[in-house]
Protein backbone atom coordinates (compact mmCIF):
# COMPACT_ATOMS: atom_id res chain seq x y z
CA UNK A 1 0.00 0.00 0.00
CA UNK A 2 1.41 3.41 -0.91
CA UNK A 3 2.25 5.83 1.87
CA UNK A 4 0.83 8.80 0.03
CA UNK A 5 -2.29 9.90 -1.80
CA UNK A 6 -2.32 8.36 -5.27
CA UNK A 7 -3.77 10.35 -8.17
CA UNK A 8 -6.76 8.43 -9.52
CA UNK A 9 -6.81 7.67 -13.24
CA UNK A 10 -10.48 8.33 -14.05
CA UNK A 11 -11.88 10.48 -11.28
CA UNK A 12 -10.98 13.81 -9.73
CA UNK A 13 -11.53 13.22 -6.01
CA UNK A 14 -8.41 11.48 -4.72
CA UNK A 15 -9.31 11.24 -1.03
CA UNK A 16 -12.30 12.14 1.11
CA UNK A 17 -16.07 11.97 0.99
CA UNK A 18 -17.00 15.53 -0.01
CA UNK A 19 -20.40 17.10 -0.54
CA UNK A 20 -21.51 16.77 -4.15
CA UNK A 21 -24.45 18.26 -6.03
CA UNK A 22 -25.81 17.56 -9.48
CA UNK A 23 -26.16 20.62 -11.66
CA UNK A 24 -26.47 21.44 -15.35
CA UNK A 25 -23.91 22.95 -17.70
CA UNK A 26 -25.26 26.44 -18.32
CA UNK A 27 -25.95 28.27 -21.55
CA UNK A 28 -22.92 30.55 -21.07
CA UNK A 29 -20.44 27.72 -20.52
CA UNK A 30 -17.73 26.97 -23.08
CA UNK A 31 -18.08 23.21 -23.68
CA UNK A 32 -14.36 22.68 -24.44
CA UNK A 33 -13.53 24.15 -21.02
CA UNK A 34 -16.08 22.10 -19.07
CA UNK A 35 -13.73 19.29 -18.10
CA UNK A 36 -13.41 17.20 -14.95
CA UNK A 37 -10.91 18.82 -12.60
CA UNK A 38 -11.89 22.36 -13.58
CA UNK A 39 -13.42 24.90 -11.19
CA UNK A 40 -16.93 26.11 -11.99
CA UNK A 41 -19.07 29.06 -10.93
CA UNK A 42 -22.80 29.70 -11.10
CA UNK A 43 -24.18 30.53 -14.55
CA UNK A 44 -27.18 32.83 -15.11
CA UNK A 45 -29.96 30.30 -14.41
CA UNK A 46 -30.41 28.60 -11.04
CA UNK A 47 -28.70 25.18 -10.72
CA UNK A 48 -26.43 25.80 -13.75
CA UNK A 49 -22.65 26.26 -13.90
CA UNK A 50 -19.95 27.50 -16.26
CA UNK A 51 -16.15 27.52 -16.11
CA UNK A 52 -14.58 29.89 -13.57
CA UNK A 53 -12.54 32.81 -14.76
CA UNK A 54 -9.39 34.26 -13.24
CA UNK A 55 -9.64 35.50 -9.65
CA UNK A 56 -13.24 34.37 -9.15
CA UNK A 57 -14.88 35.42 -5.90
CA UNK A 58 -17.91 33.09 -6.05
CA UNK A 59 -16.65 29.60 -6.96
CA UNK A 60 -19.18 26.81 -6.80
CA UNK A 61 -16.94 23.74 -6.88
CA UNK A 62 -15.19 21.59 -9.43
CA UNK A 63 -16.36 19.02 -11.95
CA UNK A 64 -16.07 15.28 -11.32
CA UNK A 65 -16.06 12.54 -13.96
CA UNK A 66 -19.48 11.12 -14.82
CA UNK A 67 -19.82 7.30 -14.75
CA UNK A 68 -20.37 7.19 -18.53
CA UNK A 69 -17.43 9.50 -19.38
CA UNK A 70 -13.66 9.61 -19.23
CA UNK A 71 -11.55 12.22 -17.48
CA UNK A 72 -10.65 13.84 -20.82
CA UNK A 73 -14.30 14.12 -21.99
CA UNK A 74 -15.76 17.63 -21.98
CA UNK A 75 -19.37 18.31 -21.01
CA UNK A 76 -21.81 19.98 -23.41
CA UNK A 77 -24.29 22.74 -22.61
CA UNK A 78 -27.30 21.09 -20.95
CA UNK A 79 -25.38 18.06 -19.63
CA UNK A 80 -25.91 16.97 -16.03
CA UNK A 81 -22.66 17.24 -14.07
CA UNK A 82 -21.41 16.28 -10.63
CA UNK A 83 -20.07 19.36 -8.87
CA UNK A 84 -17.90 18.71 -5.82
CA UNK A 85 -18.40 21.45 -3.23
CA UNK A 86 -17.01 19.87 -0.06
CA UNK A 87 -13.50 19.60 1.34
CA UNK A 88 -11.32 16.84 -0.12
CA UNK A 89 -8.05 16.07 -1.89
CA UNK A 90 -8.57 16.39 -5.64
CA UNK A 91 -6.63 16.40 -8.90
CA UNK A 92 -7.16 19.87 -10.40
CA UNK A 93 -5.62 21.59 -13.41
CA UNK A 94 -2.83 24.02 -12.53
CA UNK A 95 -2.21 26.86 -14.99
CA UNK A 96 0.94 26.50 -17.09
CA UNK A 97 4.15 28.07 -15.73
CA UNK A 98 2.86 28.35 -12.17
CA UNK A 99 5.60 27.64 -9.63
CA UNK A 100 3.84 26.16 -6.61
CA UNK A 101 5.17 24.49 -3.49
CA UNK A 102 3.25 22.24 -1.12
CA UNK A 103 0.98 24.39 1.02
CA UNK A 104 0.75 27.38 -1.34
CA UNK A 105 -2.74 28.92 -1.44
CA UNK A 106 -4.50 28.66 -4.81
CA UNK A 107 -7.12 30.82 -6.55
CA UNK A 108 -8.96 30.36 -9.82
CA UNK A 109 -7.29 31.10 -13.14
CA UNK A 110 -8.77 31.36 -16.64
CA UNK A 111 -10.79 28.43 -17.98
CA UNK A 112 -11.48 26.90 -14.55
CA UNK A 113 -7.82 26.19 -13.79
CA UNK A 114 -6.07 27.09 -10.54
CA UNK A 115 -3.06 29.36 -9.95
CA UNK A 116 -0.87 30.41 -7.05
CA UNK A 117 -2.17 33.30 -4.97
CA UNK A 118 -0.19 36.39 -5.94
CA UNK A 119 0.58 39.46 -3.87
CA UNK A 120 -2.30 41.90 -4.08
CA UNK A 121 -4.96 43.98 -2.38
CA UNK A 122 -7.85 42.39 -0.47
CA UNK A 123 -10.32 40.94 -2.96
CA UNK A 124 -8.16 41.62 -6.00
CA UNK A 125 -6.95 38.01 -6.20
CA UNK A 126 -10.28 36.22 -5.81
CA UNK A 127 -11.02 33.63 -3.13
CA UNK A 128 -8.61 30.98 -2.00
CA UNK A 129 -10.12 27.68 -3.20
CA UNK A 130 -7.48 25.31 -1.90
CA UNK A 131 -3.85 24.56 -1.16
CA UNK A 132 -1.22 22.80 -3.25
CA UNK A 133 -0.64 19.27 -1.92
CA UNK A 134 2.38 18.82 -4.17
CA UNK A 135 4.95 21.04 -5.86
CA UNK A 136 4.93 21.85 -9.57
CA UNK A 137 6.97 24.08 -11.86
CA UNK A 138 6.34 23.11 -15.48
CA UNK A 139 5.64 25.15 -18.61
CA UNK A 140 2.45 23.25 -19.52
CA UNK A 141 -0.83 22.88 -17.65
CA UNK A 142 -0.36 20.27 -14.93
CA UNK A 143 -2.66 18.04 -12.93
CA UNK A 144 -1.74 18.41 -9.27
CA UNK A 145 -3.18 17.25 -6.00
CA UNK A 146 -5.01 20.07 -4.25
CA UNK A 147 -6.51 20.26 -0.77
CA UNK A 148 -9.86 21.71 -1.94
CA UNK A 149 -11.00 23.95 0.89
CA UNK A 150 -12.68 27.13 -0.35
CA UNK A 151 -12.32 30.12 1.94
CA UNK A 152 -15.17 32.32 3.06
CA UNK A 153 -13.61 35.62 2.05
CA UNK A 154 -11.64 37.20 -0.80
CA UNK A 155 -7.91 36.62 -0.75
CA UNK A 156 -5.14 39.00 0.17
CA UNK A 157 -1.47 38.15 0.19
CA UNK A 158 1.57 39.94 1.49
In the predicted structure, residue 75 carries a pLDDT above the cut 90: yes
In a domain, 77, yes or no: yes
- Bridge-based pairing of strands 48-51 and 20-25 is parallel
| pLDDT band with cut points at 50, 70 and 90 for residue 155 | low
Q: Kindly report the CATH number assigned to the domain that includes residue 42.
A: 2.40.340
What pLDDT was estimated at residue 69?
94
Mean pLDDT of the chain: 91
The angle at the Cα of 35, spanning 31 to 38, to the nearest 5 degrees, equals 115
In a domain, 115, yes or no: no
Q: Supply the range of the domain harboring residue 62.
A: 17-84
pLDDT digits (tens, 9 = 90+) for 46-60: 999 999 999 988 888
In a domain, 120, yes or no: no
Give the CA-trace dihedral at 4, 10, 89, 107, to 10 degrees.
Answer: 130
What pLDDT was estimated at residue 125?
78
In a domain, 53, yes or no: yes
In a domain, 33, yes or no: yes
Long-range contacts of 26-30 (CB under 8 A, 24+ apart): 26/50, 26/77, 27/77, 29/75, 29/77, 30/111
In a domain, 117, yes or no: no
In a domain, 90, yes or no: no
Of the chain, the end-to-end C-alpha distance in Å amounts to 40
Structurally, how many domains does the chain consist of?
1
In a domain, 93, yes or no: no
Amino acid sequence: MPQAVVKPSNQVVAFGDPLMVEMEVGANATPAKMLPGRVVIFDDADQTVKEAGAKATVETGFLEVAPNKKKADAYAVGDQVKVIIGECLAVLTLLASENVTRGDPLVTAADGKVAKLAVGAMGAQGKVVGYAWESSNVTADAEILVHWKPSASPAAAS
